Structure 1
Amino acid sequence: MNASSTSLPGGAWALGDSTVTRFGYGAMQLAGPWVMGPPADHDGALAVLREAVEAGITHIDTSDAYGPRLTNELIREALHPYPGSLSIATKVGANRDAQGGWPTARRPEDLRKQIHENLQSLGVEVLDLVNMRMGDAEGPQPGSLAEAFGTLVELQQEGLIRHLGVSNVTAEQVAEAQSIAPIVCVQNMYNLAHRYDDNLIDRLAADGIAYVPFFPLGGFTPLQSVLLSGVADRLGATPMSVALAWLLQRSPNILLIPGTSSTAHLRENIAGAGLSLSDENAAELDSIGRRPANGSVGN
């Protein structure tokens, strides 16, 4: 079902009827500080997007809430008309306030509005993939997603969405979504330090469903660990490169969407993710995630 048909690290994975590179690109960092306002370097942001596609990346993750709206508009300016091989994933379920917060917006009318805003800002008639974002800034929260996810199913039936996914969700919410309609991916926070979804990843892999970790490098709190640095030193690599390589080797259904606003850093991420970790190195890195999580990994 899923074959390595690309020179990018990790090969490729089937998202429904689309095949995407497992190494993708997350567009969040193209917006200004705290994902608000325009980028400091408009032309540089366009260059990163074009470099990503030229490198062979066929999976870009975005949201109309980034900026807000500005990131989608940058993607459209840089890449429209889009290559047929490119899949753009977006997410709905939150708006932005004047302070940069992420207030939830999951009523049917809110979601319909967000879908049409994404269609307009990206310049498409159908969205390739829409993730229903649940939870809040603290992470997944218990509760039913049936009404919100059901609204996206209706929009899919209307021909506005090709594939569906869920984001910032509990394992129970994943199961609930699957009972309503097929999903092709789950997008949750996961990295070397934040390992709460280990069992979920394995179950999804068995079902042929992608798992897309956001904040693969720690997000606003970059990964820090003596063990991670030690492995990186032995391999002559950066800690972030090792962290990305570990994710690709963790499970074949993991798709990476590291973000950057620098073409040089994009190339570094691609090269770093291609590191081959020995069983010994992988086991040492695995032990990081078994330590108590407290926002950064221990010393």
Structure 2
Amino acid sequence: MAALLADYELVVIGGGPAGLTAGIYAARSRLNFLLFEKVVPGGQILTTDWIENYPGFPEGLSGYDLAWKIADQLTRFDAPVENAEVLSMECSGPVKRLVLKDRTISTHTVIIATGASPNLLSVPGEDAYLGKGVSFCATCDGPFYKDKRVAVMGGGDTAVQEGIFLTKLAETVYIIHRREQLRATRILQERAFANPKIKFIWNSVVTQIEGNESGVEKLIMKNVKTGAISDLSVDAFFIFIGTRPNTGFLCSEIKTNEEGFVIADQNMETSVPGVYAVGDVRNTPLRQVVTAVGDAAIAAVCAEKYVENLGLAQE
């Protein structure tokens, strides 16, 4: 029995909507748990201008407001939240070990809620002008380009929604998409097509970003059908071409798909018993706040049952 002793019954890694929800469930279950968030609670939705599809808010609300409400709900349970990053995991035994900068802790169960980060274009000029016109967050950096010309790369929900948001600030918003039709939901497409400030550039990719010491000046584009090269003068370039999972710290025993997203079953359990994956980090057909919090509820309940089955639930 001594071999099964651990510092915690559950550790939640990540403080976005999924991680915070897992924390709420863990706190209400009176589990001995700890939640790690390496930046600030809220996750990706802190950069989302407006959310209309989260039940209970008929008028919609900003991503910041929703994140604050979920985080505030967690604090009402006096839940332990620590600002720290998990650097690596050891999953070879029944007790999992998490390595941090200043210590190593042990736990019976883990909920991975680390989300995903924006994909890079990986073209010349992207790194050089990051923060100088190249951005992955319209709500963060859009206000710097009031009455300017800006471009958005991507054709999904995020790209179109952020493009619509930018029309509140910019003079013109160009949406560049490598295909000839958008992948965004119909309601977003309808709003974008009806917005006179939005202009579409189809079947095109950006191959280079040019500028000067002040920032971005021009995008070099290639038409994927004709091969034609053209340029577009803009003051800022916002990139929304999907995400990659934040999984660099995971132990090798946890299986992922070819894109690196964690494979989990209907209980959110991974290939390692007692380790669960929720939200955007998981291999799932839909990555939205409402699905992330549902994942978290399932995982937290299953983690509690896992601990109970070990016969180690603490009074």
Higher percent of residues as strand: 2
- TM-score class, shorter: under 0.3
Higher percent of residues as helix: 1
Give the alignment's TM-score, normalised by structure 2: 0.26
